[in-house]
Amino acid sequence: MIPLWAGIALVAAAAQTARNAAQASLTATLGTVGATQVRFLFGLPFAVLFLGVVLLATGEALPALTARTWAYTTMGAMAQIGATALMLITMKSQSFSVTTAWLKTEPVIVALGAAALIGDPLSWPAMAAIAVATAGVLVMSVKPARNPRDWMAPGPALTGLLAAGLFGLSAIGFRGGVTGLESGGTLIRSTTTLVLSLSIQTGTLLLWMGLFDRKALMASLGQWRGSLGAGFLGAFASQFWFLGFALTSAANVRTLALAEVIFAQLVARFHFGQRLPLRQGIGMGMIVLGVGLLLQSQIKAP
């Protein structure tokens, strides 16, 4: 039987693909910082609503926030802000699906970082599966360069990889934040951590934009219809990501998130009208193989 966390991660990946598409379309009118804060400012009310529903449905009390939860969630929140901004910068010069592929070099970073920082288990079969899936991302995204010096030139590849690293750090932080709560079930702990994270991110960006970019802040409020949709999709995706982090290691969740590359290809083809070469189709096949190997290793694990 497919693990519960796998289904949860697939729902999150689909919702995040839709969120990224909505957020990318806002960059032209709001700028990078303005479009970045949309997922947090307009996502927070939905996260609070989710928490209220969970409290009513479960009858559980709100778990007490621990020092570990504060520290790891703050780390994850700040890393995600930087990663989102870099993602949107990359999307300005690369196709939607290729940008998504660059971001999905994240699982190896998550696997090694989570094992070192929060003690997430990492088996050799799982690491091999992560390597196969990540290699598929690289095959899909990287064009052979005529001039070897082109590989060292700054540009979309660099910003995409930096974004992937920060997204990896944010996943580790959020996993640490959820597991740092000492009471409550999986649902209440993950939703509480989500609200804490979005509160930190919203407060940080409102302060920054109030001081340095009021024009973008007012523009995002003026674009509230489109921003509300991106905020809902962001909160919805995050709710499922955090549930996944509560159930299994960050590396497992973020590797299965590579399915987002497949979803992004569908968005790129039917929404943005972008076509991708055979090389990227081969890369996506490798991603599917790696994800399948990961699920097999988890199903067989004792």
Indicate the domain borders of the chain. 4-300
Per run of 10 residues, the mean pLDDT along the chain (length 302 residues) is: 82 82 70 75 93 95 95 95 81 62 71 77 80 77 50 58 87 94 93 96 89 81 78 90 90 80 70 68 78 69 46
Give the whole-angstrom CA distance, residue 55 versus residue 184. 11
Confidence at residue 302, expressed as pLDDT on a 0 to 100 scale = 43
How buried is residue 158: exposed, middle or buried, by Cβ count under 10 Å (0-12/13-18/19+)? middle
pTM score, whole prediction: 0.79
Confidence at residue 156, expressed as pLDDT on a 0 to 100 scale = 62
Closest to 296 (Cα-Cα) out of 114, 121, 120, 125: 125
Residue by residue, DSSP assigns 92-138 as TTS-HHHHHHHHTTHHHHHHHHHHHHT-----HHHHHHHHHHHHHHH
Which secondary-structure segment (H or E) carries 216?
A: helix 214-222
The label of the residue with tokens 């993950």 reads 190
Which secondary-structure segment (H or E) carries 1?
A: none
Confidence at residue 189, expressed as pLDDT on a 0 to 100 scale = 96
Q: Could you give the 3-state DSSP secondary structure of residue 200?
A: helix
Confidence at residue 249, expressed as pLDDT on a 0 to 100 scale = 84
